[in-house]
Amino acid sequence: MTYTGHVTSAGPSQVRQLDGLTIRKASVGSMDNNAYLLTCTATGDQLLIDAADDLPRLQQLIAEGTGELSAILTTHRHADHTRALTGLAQATGATTLAGEYDADYLPMAPDRRLRHGEQITLGEQQLHITHLRGHTPGAIAVTWTAPNGQAHLFSGDSLFPGGPGKTSTPEDFAQLMDDLETRLFDVLDDATWVYPGHGDDTTLGAERPHLPQWRERGW
């Protein structure tokens, strides 16, 4: 199956086989939340990004990989991204991770609180953590760089095709735009593939020309 990044709630997963990592994308729940299963191809270690909803579907997703789960990473505190967190953590015994400033607002305290610039290990792969303030105070994104140099960015609800994630105040919007520009667009190149918390994928190259427009419209 050719990877397109388009999934529907409770529908089949999309699978992307890369050198060193396999990415599986599924949509769960009534808000079409994306959940991503990352599998180190060398060791079989697996990490799930956002245990959003529908515990049985997430367990099926894990089984589509190696069947075991090493860790669960939560991108931010909002309930639609955490409804299955406690159940999945209890069922699998996986280590739980979240940004340090959202950690106290999750259904369960994470085993590890992640800071901006940290690296986490998944088997033989390294994942980079970026703190993106604005959608929530402690939202984080995860970046993995393939051996060919292409970056793969899991942005949670901070960046979507067509704009940044929702913010509550003009100050939050300005902060999120500042972080997106300085911590993502100024650091990663146009080939960077973006896997958002809802909906289809995009690339930084597709979104970069629109940054001034986003600033001007204020959302």
**pLDDT, tens digit (0-9, with 9 covering 90-100), for 14-62:** 999 999 999 999 999 999 999 999 999 999 999 999 999 999 999 999 9
The conformation of residue 181, written as its DSSP 8-state character, comes to: I
Query: Residues 77-84: what's their mean pLDDT?
Result: 98
Average pLDDT over the chain, rounded to an integer: 98
Owner of token pair 């994308």? 25
pLDDT exceeds 90 at position 1: no
DSSP 115-156: -TT-EEEETTEEEEEEE--SSSTT-EEEEEE-TTS-EEEEEE
| Structure confidence at residue 34 (pLDDT) | 98
What is the model's pLDDT at position 191?
98
pTM of the model as a whole: 0.98
Of the pLDDT bands very low, low, confident and very high (cuts 50, 70, 90), residue 189 is very high
In the prediction, which pLDDT does 70 show? 98
